[in-house]
């Protein structure tokens, strides 16, 4: 347990140290300031703009930015669908895999193009190395870059700047942030024991004389962008619980920091754009505190273990079901909270085996989406809550609500409401349909309260573009592939459209001079009120499913029944 608590302390300390530095670097990249990578990346970027016919000085309106995202993502999705469909004819296919079934292929492409990476297939027995590294790896960079670009465009709009150019933002997100860090991180993972090879499945003879097949491949490069880009899809079915993806405590720490680095840094990126580092620190500590509380909730549940079996001989103590012994209960709980807080979706243990406290923390993260939130878009969700807080507090004191010197009016509230209402719609409605047909649609394998959690979690993961799941759910069916595909599309693109239209509206508003009665948004009081509103809205929307799922399961275990 000592190693687990040490990893929690190291993770929290590194986040505090890295976030402001990395946030300033991201701000410099998208402000066009000089960086260390300029001599290397400037010629590459100019070549990309020339080939694509992009003028990097052309700014886009909200609708132009939206159309650029939708068109580019559609083209990329069609391209990857074709690459995987014809993988039998393409290189790097030493095991001779053919095309997957159409519905699972469609689900996979939607999943990766939306930065969800929800997997209803077994990667090592379904996809070639080319399909994994080139096709899905390509989407891992572009989907993460798309989210980062949206976050930057939203910050620009909030701070009275033009939204920028999507193609330029996407290019710079990849060349200046995702690609260089992925190269460094993948190199570190290789040195720590993660394989990077194109050799086919290794066939070995065990000590008992039987034959064992060891899948391998270009894992290190795949693993790093999976974590840094908050993608989460595993090269193997066991994801980061597999010893080839995450062999030891050192790789575990690197991957944890990779998950949390960009979303935590983006808060300080906003502070640089707004020239208000004080507010950035207040928001950082608000999210950080919520994260620490949820880690404590999850860890306490796993350390206490299952009260129904704690009295059994030899089964006293922490809950180790579904855990890798090299990580134990504490590091698995820390990872579970981090992967759902950052919308990454990778797992280093089976979430389906966690105690109700850990499942509660994971679902809460998926529901509110701001602790720390998705790649770029999580920052936008955080400021949507800030705008709602400004509006509500303005109503309470009888003043026209203002944020960063601009009035919050009907259009902004409508767009903010769309962002927050789409999420429960794409979770609760399909969950209700699936639960109404428990034998034909739901795929539940656990009776009672946990079965409800299985269904709701799958749609929460899809709608939040997270991708993790409670793995005992029978989800590789036509219903699950198509219904979660729709949840992923709606959960990704409708909020992005609303976010960009909100940012575009804010960027066009005149700045109102500050008066003695202007509500200060960079105060501890306002930040505390924001945290309360986030909690209230989350409870009002999702408490019934939490009560029917992990909360009820926790009471059942506590009662000894």
Q: Where are the domains of the chain?
A: 2-559
| Whether pLDDT at 36 is above 80 | yes
Contacts of 402 (CB under 8 A, 6+ apart): 390, 394, 408, 512, 518, 519
| Whether pLDDT at 425 is above 60 | yes
Query: What are the backbone angles phi and psi of residue 92, rounded to the nearest 5°?
Result: 60, 45
pTM of the model: 0.94
CA distance 195 to 440: 41
Say if residue 401 is preceded by a cis peptide, omega within 30 of 0. no
Percent of the chain exceeding pLDDT 70 equals 97
Percent of the chain exceeding pLDDT 90 equals 70
Mean pLDDT over 242-270 rounds to 95
Q: Where are the beta strands (DSSP E) in 188-263?
A: 202-205, 211-214
Q: Residue with structure tokens 């999420």?
A: 423
Q: Which two tokens stand for residue 23?
A: 């946030």
Give residue-wise pLDDT tens across range 74-99. Answer: 999 999 999 999 999 999 998 889 99
CB 357 within 8 A of CB 301: yes
pLDDT category of residue 447 using cuts at 50, 70 and 90: confident
Query: What sign results for the dihedral spanned by CA atoms 86, 92, 96, 101?
Result: negative
3-class DSSP assignment, residue 519: coil
Q: Which two tokens stand for residue 237?
A: 């079915």
Query: What sign results for the dihedral spanned by CA atoms 215, 216, 222, 223?
Result: positive
User: What pLDDT shows up at residue 346?
Assistant: 95
CA distance 519 to 400: 10
């Amino acid at each position: 347990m000592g190693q687990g608590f040490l990893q929690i302390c190291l993770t929290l300390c590194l986040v505090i140290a890295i976030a402001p530095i990395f946030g300033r670097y991201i701000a410099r990249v998208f402000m066009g300031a000089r960086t260390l990578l300029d001599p290397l990346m400037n010629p590459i970027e100019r070549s990309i703009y020339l080939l694509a016919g992009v003028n990097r000085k052309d700014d886009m309106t909200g609708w132009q930015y939206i159309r650029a995202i939708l068109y580019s993502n559609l083209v990329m999705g069609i391209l990857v669908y074709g690459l995987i469909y014809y993988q039998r004819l393409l290189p790097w296919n030493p095991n001779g895999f053919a095309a997957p079934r159409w519905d699972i292929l469609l689900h996979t492409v939607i999943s990766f193009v939306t930065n969800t990476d929800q997997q209803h297939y077994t990667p090592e027995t379904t996809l070639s190395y080319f399909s994994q590294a080139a096709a899905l790896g390509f989407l891992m960079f572009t989907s993460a870059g798309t989210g980062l670009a949206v976050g930057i465009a939203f910050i620009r709009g909030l701070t009275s700047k033009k939204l920028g150019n999507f193609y330029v933002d996407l290019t710079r997100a990849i060349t200046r942030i995702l690609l260089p860090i992925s190269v460094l991180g993948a190199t570190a993972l290789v040195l720590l024991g993660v394989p990077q090879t194109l050799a086919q499945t290794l066939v070995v003879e065990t000590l008992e004389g039987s034959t064992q097949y060891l899948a391998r491949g270009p894992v290190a490069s795949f693993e790093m962008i999976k974590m840094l880009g908050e993608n989460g899809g595993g090269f193997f079915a066991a994801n980061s619980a597999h010893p080839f993806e995450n062999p030891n405590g050192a790789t575990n720490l690197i991957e944890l920091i990779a998950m949390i680095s960009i979303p935590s840094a983006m808060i300080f990126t906003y502070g640089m754009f707004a020239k208000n580092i004080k507010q950035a620190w207040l928001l950082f500590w608000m999210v950080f505190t919520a994260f620490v509380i949820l880690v404590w909730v999850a860890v306490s549940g796993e350390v206490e273990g299952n009260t129904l079996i704690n009295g059994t001989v030899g089964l006293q103590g922490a809950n180790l079901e579904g855990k890798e012994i090299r990580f134990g209960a504490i590091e698995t709980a820390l990872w579970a909270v981090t992967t759902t807080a950052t919308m990454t979706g990778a797992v280093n243990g089976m979430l389906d085996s966690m105690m109700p406290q850990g499942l509660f923390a994971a679902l809460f993260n998926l529901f509110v989406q701001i602790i720390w939130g998705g790649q770029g878009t999580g920052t936008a969700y955080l400021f949507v809550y800030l705008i709602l807080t400004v509006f509500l507090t303005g109503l309470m004191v009888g003043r026209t609500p203002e944020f960063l010197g601009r009035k919050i009016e009907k259009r902004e509230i409508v767009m903010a409401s769309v962002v927050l209402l789409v999420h429960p719609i794409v979770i609760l409605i399909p969950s209700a349909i699936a639960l109404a047909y428990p034998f034909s649609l739901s795929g539940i394998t656990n009776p009672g309260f946990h079965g409800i959690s299985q269904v709701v979690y799958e749609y929460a993961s899809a709608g939040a573009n997270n991708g993790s799941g409670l793995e005992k759910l029978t989800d590789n069916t036509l219903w699950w592939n198509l219904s979660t595909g729709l949840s992923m599309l709606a959960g990704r693109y409708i909020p992005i459209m609303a976010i960009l239209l909100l940012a575009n509206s804010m960027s066009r508003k005149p700045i109102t001079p500050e008066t003695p009665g202007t509500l200060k948004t960079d105060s501890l009081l306002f930040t505390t009120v924001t945290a309360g509103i986030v909690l209230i809205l989350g409870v009002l929307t999702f408490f019934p499913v939490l009560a029917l799922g992990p909360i009820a399961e926790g009471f059942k275990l506590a009662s000894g029944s």
